[in-house]
A and B are shown apart, each in its own frame.
Chain A
Amino acid sequence: MGLLDTEFGKRRLLSVEVPAIEKYNEGRDAAFKVALARVGGTLLLTYLLKPCHNPYRLETRLLSSYPTVPPETRVLTPLKHCPHLLEGQTICLWRQGSMRASSRWDPAKFTCIFAIQAAWRWLACYEIWHETGEWPLPEAK
């Protein structure tokens, strides 16, 4: 399914994803609003998160196979190498094939805003790891 080139994808985009982004942006400081752009067959969300004292610039990509395939999020602000951080500062959020609902991306339930919220929680964990050297949450199975 293509998010941008099929009727189902376009409907999902216009009736689910765009309204969710608009709701997220409501009342938010301009610097922290999500910006949406099309890059080829991909939708790119760029935004700023500041769970604690430090602001982080991020981008979340909705590939043409989204929402079947979960969004990919990477942190553009330089980070120290840490757990759950993949190449290119892509953050590791969802375990493919996990049997636990709490570890899986569910395209029927989640929107791109969930990716932003998951990234926020990841950054909160990173801030603690930065000080203690320990990731504050156990890894799910």
Chain B
Amino acid sequence: MDFRPLAEVERRTLTTALRNNADRGLALLMDRLDTSFAGTAEDVPEVEVINAVKSVPSHY
């Protein structure tokens, strides 16, 4: 696979989102069609929970 790196702005945005997810419980949103990163949200409607990475337990 030819790896396409993140642009610097994309990397900063994603890093902040991941840290807010871990520290503040903000949900990471997955695009419904292709699972790409679609931003963060404090509250997620019930119908979109399946596309929101919120309380995923993990050790890293």
Contact call A118/B36, Cβ cutoff below 8 A? no
What's the tally of chain A residues with a CB closer than 8 Å to chain B? 53
Interface string of A100-141 (1 = CB under 8 A from B): 011111100010011001101110110110111001111110
Q: Is there a chain A Cβ closer than 8 Å to B44's Cβ?
A: no
One of A24, A98, A101, A132 near B50 (C-beta < 8 A): A24
Q: Please, which residues of chain B bring their CB within 8 A of the CB of A140?
A: 58-60
Main DSSP-derived SS at the A contact region:
loop
Most B CB contacts (10 A, CB to CB) among A51, A101, A139 go to A51
What's the tally of chain B residues with a CB closer than 8 Å to chain A? 28
With A54-B1, A124-B28, A128-B15 as given contacts, are A114 and B35 in contact (CB-CB < 8 Å)? no
Q: Interface residues, chain B, CB within 8 Å of chain A? A: 1, 3-6, 10-11, 14-15, 18-19, 21-22, 28, 30, 32-37, 50, 53, 56-60
Instruction: List 17 interface pairs A-B (beta carbons < 8 Å), by A numbering.
Output: A24-B50, A26-B50, A32-B33, A32-B34, A49-B35, A52-B36, A54-B1, A93-B58, A94-B57, A101-B57, A103-B59, A120-B30, A122-B58, A122-B60, A127-B14, A128-B11, A130-B3
6 shortest interchain CB distances as A-B pairs: A95-B59, A53-B4, A103-B59, A117-B53, A118-B56, A29-B33
